[in-house]
Amino acid sequence: MAVSRLAKYLRQDRLPHVWCPGCGNGIVMKAFVDAVDREGLDPDRVAIVSGIGCSSRVTGYLNFSTMHTLHGRAVAFGTGVKLARPEFNVIVMGGDGDMLAIGGNHFVHACRRNMDMTMIVFNNNIYGMTGGQYSPTTPFGKVASTSIRGNVEDSFDVVDLAITSGATYVARSTVFHYNQMVRLIQKALEHRGAAVVEILTNCHTYYGRYNAMPEATRLLQFFKDNAVTIEKSKKMEEEELTEKIVVGEFRNIEKETYTERYDRLVKQSLAMSQKE
Ligand SMILES: Cc1ncc(C[n+]2csc(CCOP(=O)(O)OP(=O)(O)O)c2C)c(N)n1
Ligand code: SF4
């Protein structure tokens, strides 16, 4: 059997993975290595950081410089890596719980600072690893193990949150839209500054089972049926957009990054102290 051109990016000795059969995490992982390959990135200059959760286990399988850190702290560790080794392409990956609940503070401040790194949010609308508790992206009314009669909270819109916080590249796709997902991750990897890519992914084991979509394919079908492009969404009424997943590139602007500003400040300070 021909070995995939992407196999070299995986730690074969760590396989098989721990994910449930059909879990979308594997699709995101493949899309990521596909994007790295298409971009021709030097694997020795790629650092990937994750926290804790099913999706965060991704760093165990990826054959780059990786750090599997603490729940919610991946963005903080990623920031440290970027400051220490600015020549690295730093990518932070994690679930909606990890990145937006316990790690929400780090997430918004990395966006605000325009930290030069890519943050990939694996949004399965639930805490998968710990048994299906609701998360900040569980939609209102949906069932989780901690909201058995329906979630009473409104959810975060990850794209809106990232844009409002200051991220300079923001995009959304789903695990059904493989080619789009690869393209958007590629653009995020190319981007200078804080890049956020939200990927809607299936946790059929918990989110799907609690919400009448117990098979992976049902959730993939949901993503297929409910995704609308940004262009199309602009022509739709607000009520028509309920439950729809607007996909595509929402923001892509150029702005000086945190590390660039810091470099400039250091150079200015050195020049000033030499004059004194
Ligand atoms: C400080 C801390 N609090 C709580 C936990 C328990 N915990 C582990 S994973 C997780 C949630 C995972 O959900 P998410 O980040 O959405 O990832 P998923 O498993 O859905 O991919 C929690 C609460 C922990 N490990 N450490
Ligand atoms: S519990 Fe959910 S997120 Fe975790 S591996 Fe299974 S399907 Fe994937």
Cα of 247 vs centre of ligand 2, distance in Å, is: 23
Given this model, what pLDDT does residue 275 score? 86
Q: 204 near 213, Cβ under 8 Å?
A: yes
Given this model, what pLDDT does residue 276 score? 79
Q: Is 128 in the pocket of ligand 1 (CB under 6 A)?
A: yes
Q: Is 126 in the pocket of ligand 2 (CB under 6 A)?
A: no
Q: 193 near 274, Cβ under 8 Å?
A: no
Q: Is 75 in the pocket of ligand 1 (CB under 6 A)?
A: no
Given this model, what pLDDT does residue 67 score? 98
Tell me the C-alpha distance between 230 and 228, whole Å: 7
Asked whether the CA dihedral 99, 101, 104, 105 is positive or negative, the reply is negative
Q: Is 213 in the pocket of ligand 2 (CB under 6 A)?
A: no
Tell me the C-alpha distance between 218 and 127, whole Å: 19
Query: How large is the average pLDDT for residues 48-77?
Result: 98
Query: How large is the average pLDDT for residues 184-213?
Result: 98
- Please, what are the domains in the chain? 9-275 (3.40.50.970)
pLDDT in tens, 240-274: 999 999 999 999 999 999 999 999 999 999 999 99
> Which residue's CA is the closest to the ligand 1 atom numbered 6?
130
Query: How large is the average pLDDT for residues 173-191?
Result: 98
C-alpha distances out from residue 240 to 21, 124, 137, 234, 252, Å: 33, 22, 20, 11, 26
Which one of 130, 145, 146 would you pick to mutate in the ligand 1 pocket, going by the greatest count of ligand atoms within 8 A of its CB?
130
pLDDT in tens, 1-35: 566 899 999 999 999 999 999 999 999 999 999 99
Given this model, what pLDDT does residue 1 score? 53
Q: Is 136 in the pocket of ligand 1 (CB under 6 A)?
A: no
Supply φ then ψ for residue 196, to 5 degrees. Answer: -120, 125
Q: Is 122 in the pocket of ligand 1 (CB under 6 A)?
A: yes
Q: Which atom of ligand 2 is nearest to the CA of 24?
A: 8
Closest ligand (CA of 131): 2
Asked whether the CA dihedral 69, 50, 108, 129 is positive or negative, the reply is negative
Closest ligand (CA of 20): 2
Strands 118-123 and 89-95: parallel
Cα of 3 vs centre of ligand 1, distance in Å, is: 34
Query: How large is the average pLDDT for residues 229-240?
Result: 96
Query: How large is the average pLDDT for residues 106-121?
Result: 98
Which one of 69, 98, 106, 200 would you pick to mutate in the ligand 1 pocket, going by the greatest count of ligand atoms within 8 A of its CB?
98
First-residue to last-residue Cα distance in the chain: 68
Q: Is 123 in the pocket of ligand 2 (CB under 6 A)?
A: no
Residue 140 pLDDT level (bands cut at 50, 70, 90):
very high
pLDDT in tens, 119-138: 999 999 999 999 999 999 99
> Which residue's CA is the closest to the ligand 2 atom numbered 1?
128
> Which residue's CA is the closest to the ligand 2 atom numbered 8?
23
What percent of the chain has pLDDT above 70?
A: 99
* The two structure tokens encoding residue 266: 């250091």
